[in-house]
Amino acid sequence: MWGLAQSIFGRALAVGSRPGYKGLQQPLATDPMLVCVRYYHRKTNTMWSKKRVKDLPVIADLPNSELLFGIAPIQAVLQSGSREAYALFYQGKYKGDTRSERFETVLNMAKNMNIPTKKVPKKVLDEAVFENVHQGLVLKVHKIIERCLRCLGKVKDGRYVLFSEENGTILESRRKYPLWLFLDRIQDPQNFGSILRSATFFGADGVVIVGREGCKPSPVVCKASSGAIEFIQYFKVQDPAPFFKKSKDSGWTVVCTTTRNTEEDGQGCSLDSLKALTGPTIIVLGNESDGISDSILQASDINVHIPVGAETPDMIDSLNVNVAAGIVLSAIKFVGE
């Protein structure tokens, strides 16, 4: 019946305010750490009486910020410097499934970077991240800025230009030839995060997702990716058609993953018979429900499917998209590797 406000890491409530006070729309100070928060009654949405007030560390409301949870995602943010970190909240005497050395490593990293740190009760962390597994650490950070990608440029000596809507950036391929993933309307954050992790593990340079219907980056995505989203190039594309046309004009090969065997009509092959690729490649993975849209399939140079290992029930005609992504990425080879 009684509980901590789920927004305690967001809006700060005025100390000494009367029961039922809704709080301030703006933080009470510019300092990212505040120590003024009240408990509230979940059913009546009113504040506790004055004698029940307890001071707890809480971060002020910051624009375009979010709460990351888990050791790996937080360590990734601190190590990569991919976005600004405002404050780290940690659970005292944490006893979980992670060795204390990693916990202490992340805590020391934050302190060495002069990021404010505060010890808080476990219940505070639990409710702040909606009961997600936080492993005793929660970091207030700036949200990932979503950038729009226009196309991928020509590759020369392992280097190429990435044309975003803002500017052009020169990248160096992590593998013999550049490898990118294009996610067509992937919507599940767990799938999205797992794909980001596999893409980073298997040497992809970046991931593109359709901006209108695709999953957005979030703390859940970051946790599912084990922080991989902080290290890999991530972009959205509003209109896939010009992206594929311009990229293909620059020498990129488009490989679409399908559930249907298209070998008989000459449009594709089984993954285990796919030959080594000879240039920069974009692998397309489709929506969890209806796969790759027809308009994108029209841009495909090669369609590949994962062969079924045995007879299966009708309702199991494909793999989960994040599992399929790992299998396809592990099978991709380039000439000269």
Looking at the structure, tell me whether residues 209 and 61 fall in a common domain.
no
Q: What is the pLDDT of residue 267?
A: 65
Q: What is the DSSP string of 270-317?
A: EGGGPPPB-S-EEEEE-BTTTBS-HHHHTT-SEEEEPPPSS---TT--
Inside any domain, residue 274 = yes
CATH number of the CATH domain containing 74: 3.30.1330.30
Inside any domain, residue 113 = yes
Looking at the structure, tell me whether residues 185 and 125 fall in a common domain.
no
Looking at the structure, tell me whether residues 64 and 130 fall in a common domain.
yes
The C-alpha torsion from 171 through 174 and 177 to 179, rounded to 10°, is -90
75: nearest Cα among 232, 233, 226: 226
Looking at the structure, tell me whether residues 113 and 257 fall in a common domain.
no
- Whole-structure pTM value: 0.82
2: nearest Cα among 41, 38, 56: 41
Domain edge (last residue) among 142, 159, 182: 142
Task: Compute mean pLDDT per 10 residues along the chain, 337 residues long, and list them.
Answer: 39 30 31 38 40 38 87 97 94 69 93 93 87 92 95 97 92 97 97 98 97 90 97 95 97 92 66 95 95 94 92 85 97 95
115: nearest Cα among 85, 90, 136: 85
Are 304 and 255 in contact, with CB atoms under 8 Å apart?
Answer: yes
Looking at the structure, tell me whether residues 61 and 91 fall in a common domain.
yes
CATH number of the CATH domain containing 267: 3.40.1280.10
Find the length of the chain. Answer: 337
Beta bridge partner(s), residue 75: none
Q: What type of residue sits at position 333?
A: K
The structural domain count of the chain equals 2
- Backbone phi, psi, residue 269, to 5°: -155, 165
Looking at the structure, tell me whether residues 107 and 193 fall in a common domain.
no
Buried b (16+ CB within 10 A) or exposed e, 104-142: eebbebbeeeebbbbebeeebbbbbbeebebbbbbbbbb
How far from 215 is each of 63, 250, 273, CA to CA, in Å? 21, 28, 32
Inside any domain, residue 54 = yes
Beta strands, E only, 63-134: 65-69, 85-91, 117-120
Q: What is the DSSP string of 227-284?
A: TGGGTSEEEEES-HHHHHHHHHHTT-EEEEEESS--TTTTSEEEGGGPPPB-S-EEEE
C-beta atoms surrounding 260 within 10 Å: 13
The predicted-structure confidence for 14-46, as pLDDT tens digits, reads as follows 332 223 323 323 333 334 443 333 333 344 444
Domain edge (last residue) among 109, 142, 175: 142
Q: How far apart, in whole angstroms, are the C-alpha atoms of residue 2 and residue 133?
A: 22
Looking at the structure, tell me whether residues 186 and 313 fall in a common domain.
yes
Domain edge (last residue) among 115, 142, 169: 142
Inside any domain, residue 9 = yes
Q: Is 204 helix (H, G, I), strand (E, B) or coil?
A: coil
Structure token pair of residue 62 = 């910051």
Looking at the structure, tell me whether residues 210 and 270 fall in a common domain.
yes
Beta bridge partner(s), residue 277: 334
Looking at the structure, tell me whether residues 203 and 305 fall in a common domain.
yes
Inside any domain, residue 337 = no
Inside any domain, residue 336 = no
Inside any domain, residue 277 = yes
Q: How far apart, in whole angstroms, are the C-alpha atoms of residue 92 and residue 97?
A: 15
Looking at the structure, tell me whether residues 180 and 298 fall in a common domain.
yes
Q: How far apart, in whole angstroms, are the C-alpha atoms of residue 64 and residue 279?
A: 39
Structure token pair of residue 96 = 């979980």
Looking at the structure, tell me whether residues 227 and 122 fall in a common domain.
no
Parent domain of 73: 2-142
Inside any domain, residue 293 = yes
Buried b (16+ CB within 10 A) or exposed e, 191-223: bbbbbbbbbbebbbbbbbbbbeebbebbbbbbb
Looking at the structure, tell me whether residues 124 and 195 fall in a common domain.
no
How far from 22 is each of 12, 18, 43, 48, 82, CA to CA, in Å? 10, 9, 15, 12, 35
